[in-house]
Amino acid sequence: MKEMTTKLLVIGGGPGGYVAAIRAGQLGIPTMLVEGASLGGTCLNIGCIPSKALIHAAEEFERARHQAAGSQLGIRVSDPQIDIAQTVRWKDGIVQRLTGGVGALLRKASVQVHKGWAEIEDGKTVIVKPPEGEPLRVRCEHLLLATGSTPVELPSMPFGGAIWSSTDALSPDVVPKRLVVVGAGYIGLELGMAYRKLGVEVTVVEALQRVLPTYDEELTQPVLDALQKSGIVLHLGCSVQGWDAEHGVHVRNDARAEEFALPADRVLVAVGRRPRTAGFGLESLQLDMAGRHVAIDAHCRTSMRHVWAIGDITGEPMLAHRAMAQGECVAEQIAGKNRRFEPMQIPAVCFTDPEVVVVGKTPGEARAAGLDCIDAAFPFSANGRAMTLEATGGFVRVVARRDNHLILGWQAVGQGVAELAAAFTQSIEMGARLEDVGHTIHAHPTLGEAVQEAALRALGQALHI
């Protein structure tokens, strides 16, 4: 068997792995990256990017249908149609350009990329099994685990055929007439709302009593209103028992002890993701685990010296931008820099319609932590830019300490609020106070003015409400 040596070996070419490899290469560290599928991982190939492309296409189609029905803007469109095959080709084109760009960046950083599946022998030796040809044994000084996560299957409804994972839902061969979505978390609702905009009859089944259960109810109420207005049928507090082609999805209402069936052409199971810890010899390292995921410290170190782990394999929050930041942190430590991964906050965005952004503590979390805080919200109904965009639903909310006005959290719900996440996170990382944001001049007319107004309202200085 051919053997090679490198200082850093990265297993997994997703957002965390490829960023770690690029940064290591920039720092002059001999680096090798192993990826069994496509560079970019889940996020770039079958997750974040393609889902946002499909969501955009669905929004454009819905807008055209709305204008065909008579728009108050005076725009008239007749009989809009969607060619889903062309939509998928357009989406795939975006993915291909981005994956090609990742490959180019890795080459620029002098990273050796090997396509194949890794099998760990020990903390410094990995066998790479390519699709064709002989296996390769790689010996390394540092091993970085960046293997990501996989969708959770229901035992009664394994993926395949009419049962879709989120991956399947992003490349449909046809637009189904009826879609049942199992799970009202962000993945289920993002894709469920997109398919509703494509004209599909959508039903959502959720075991808990509310949608987006990890977010506070004040934030999710506008999303719930939008779901109901769109015609999506919700079955909350219900569990899925199974599926058959004749009757559809078998559902049980646990509170009423009632069972019923939901007809469906396709079923999207979106009940979460689990760290990818099996199938590549991880157990041979006997690392400390924290439940299903690999335990790490504030440096992204595992319990074995010179073995690191980043991204979804290390548990929640399973976010691409967290993995990227961790990857950069590890690369710089291997290069001898003093780094820790201890961000003040990590933004979370739900790309439903309306969008939801959470950064830092909510009012409820602040109270639960025993903090004396003030909070204030500014509605988009009082924002001029939101009016011109026909997007006056939702609000921006700030949470700050009462004694010194240090900002502890931001939340927003509304059209386009994902783009406010950077400002929210930066203000917390820089230790901003309400006065810093409230007395900063914000461009007019923009949605960002709601950020300033929320801070001013918390100070008792609101101008436009």
Q: Rounded CA gap, 153 and 351, in Å? A: 23
| DSSP notation for 226-250 | HHHHHT-EEEETEEEEEEETTTEEE
**For 100, left (φ over 0), alpha (ψ -120 to 50), or beta?**
alpha
Q: Would you state the structure tokens that stand for residue 293, as one six-digit string?
A: 């995921």
Question: What is the DSSP track for 5-24?
Answer: EEEEEEE--SHHHHHHHHHH
- DSSP symbols for 321-352: HHHHHHHHHHHHHHTT-------S---EEE-S
With contact defined as beta carbons under 8 Å apart, do 380 and 395 qualify? Answer: yes
Note the maximum CA span of the chain. 72
Answer whether 394's CB lies under 8 Å from 380's CB: yes
Q: Quote the CA–CA distance of 294 and 287 in Å, as a whole number.
A: 7
d(CA 99, CA 85): 21
Cross-strand partners of 112: 32
* String of DSSP letters for 400-416: EETTT-BEEEEEEEETT
Please report, to the nearest 10 degrees, the dihedral formed by the alpha carbons of residues 415, 458, 427, 410 taken in order: -40
Query: Active site includes 444?
Result: yes
- State the helix-helix crossing angle for 48-68 and 84-108, rounded to 10 degrees: 150
As beta bridge partners, residue 115 has: 35
Residue 277: name the closest of 16, 12, 28 by CA.
12
The residue annotated as part of the active site, out of 56, 66, 299, 444, is: 444
Q: And the tokens for 323?
A: 């993995």
HSE, CB side, 13 Å, CA atoms: give it for residue 361: 20
Strand, helix or coil at 155? coil
Neighbours of 81 (CB within 10 A): 7
Pairing type for strands 233-236 and 201-206 reads parallel
DSSP character string of 156-203: TB-SBTTEE-HHHHTS-SS--SEEEEE--SHHHHHHHHHHHHTT-EEE
Q: Which residues are catalytic?
A: 444
